[in-house]
Amino acid sequence: MKKEILYSVIGLVIGVVLILLAVFVFTGSTSLNGACFGIGAALLALSGGNLIGKSVITRVETPENTRMQSIELHDERNIRIRERAGWNTMRIFTPVLCFLTLASAFIGVELYITLVLCGLILLQAALVIGSQVYYEKRI
């Protein structure tokens, strides 16, 4: 818990520094200016949200809530629901990703976009195979 708060504070500081660099140092370079603004704003928003979330959780969380969450997390029915939802998402996402890859190749989108989509298909297949091998050994 303390490490997460420390990482959030570091993220806030880096975000503010990047935004200040974009405002005061990189005024001439539009691409570097935009990158510093974008990354700084993202770090600022994510780290700030994480800190706010941690403060709310510590005020609301009780030992009874923690015990019930632990029971629900390890409940067989909930585990089965999560597995089924993940598999259905995979089953739907694979044809959609294949269609987008083929469509991008046929309509003449730049090559790197088509290659990124092909890489996503390969990554997805590797994750499925890796997960199946892992769970076959584990179960």
C-alpha to C-alpha distance for 85 and 75, rounded to whole angstroms: 16
Does the CA dihedral 65-66-71-77 come out positive or negative?
positive
Residues 89-130 pLDDT 10s: 888 988 999 999 999 989 988 998 999 999 999 998 888 888
Please give the pLDDT value at position 61: 72
Cβ-contact 18, 40 below 8 angstroms = yes
Which of 61, 63, 18 minimizes the C-alpha distance to 40? 18
Which of 122, 124, 104 minimizes the C-alpha distance to 112? 104
Q: What is the CA radius of gyration of the chain?
A: 22
pTM over 0.75: no
Cβ-contact 30, 19 below 8 angstroms = no
Residue 108 falls in which region: left (phi positive, over 0), alpha (psi -120 to 50) or beta:
left
DSSP secondary structure letter of residue 28: S
Residues 64-83 pLDDT 10s: 777 777 777 777 777 788 78
Please give the pLDDT value at position 102: 92
In the predicted structure, residue 6 carries a pLDDT above the cut 90? no
